[in-house]
Amino acid sequence: MTMEDTGFSPRNDSGEGEGDQASGNGKAMLGIQEVASQLGVTLRALRFYEKEGLIKPERVGTTRVYTKREIGRMQLILRGKRLGFSIREIKEFLDLYDADPNHQEQMERLAERVRERLDELEEQRKALEQTIEELTTIEREARARLQP
C-alpha cells in the first residue's frame, strides 16, 4: 500500500498545463483566489494554514502561488479536519511524509492515530445511543401524561 492509497500523502506532480501562472521551472501555479475557490475555503483559511506551517506557497513578487503539491497538501489538511484530526496531528502526518522517504513511520503513526480516532468515535456513538434512548423514554412518558 502506498501513501497515496491512504489519502494522507501529498502528491509531488509538476501539473504542467494547469493553472494560470507558470514559473520558469515548468511547475503550474494557481493564485490564492483560484485555490480558495477550487477547495471551497476562504483566503483567510489558506493564510492560516500557511502561518501554521502546513503549506508553503511560493511567491512571485508579493503574490502567493500554489503548486499542485501545495493544493494536494491542502486537500489532505481538509480531509484530516473532516475526519476529526487536529492541526497538530495533520502537521505531524505531513512532516513525517516529508522526512521519511519510505513512509514507514508515517504509516505506523497514521494507523495508530486512526485506531485512536475510531475508538473515540465508538465511545461517542455509545453515549449518543444512550442519550437517544433516555430522551425517547422521557418523550414517551411526557406524551402518556398528556393523554386524558
CB 117 within 8 A of CB 80: no
Mean pLDDT of the chain, nearest integer: 83
- Tracing cell 500500500 back to the chain, one arrives at 1
Q: What is the pTM of this model?
A: 0.68
Q: Is the pLDDT of residue 12 over 50?
A: no
Give the residue, 53 or 14, on which the prediction is more confident: 53
pLDDT value at position 8?
Answer: 52
Q: What is the mean pLDDT of residues 110-117?
A: 91
CA distance 148 to 136: 21
For domain 3-117, the question of CATH label 1.10.10.60 is answered with: no
What's the CA gap between 71 and 10, in Å, rounded?
8
Q: Is 17 helix (H, G, I), strand (E, B) or coil?
A: coil
Kindly give, in sequence order, each residue whose CB lies less than 8 Å from that of residue 84, ignoring residues fewer than 6 positions away: 117, 120, 121
Q: What does the domain layout of the chain look like in residue ranges?
A: 3-117
Residue showing cell 521519511: 100
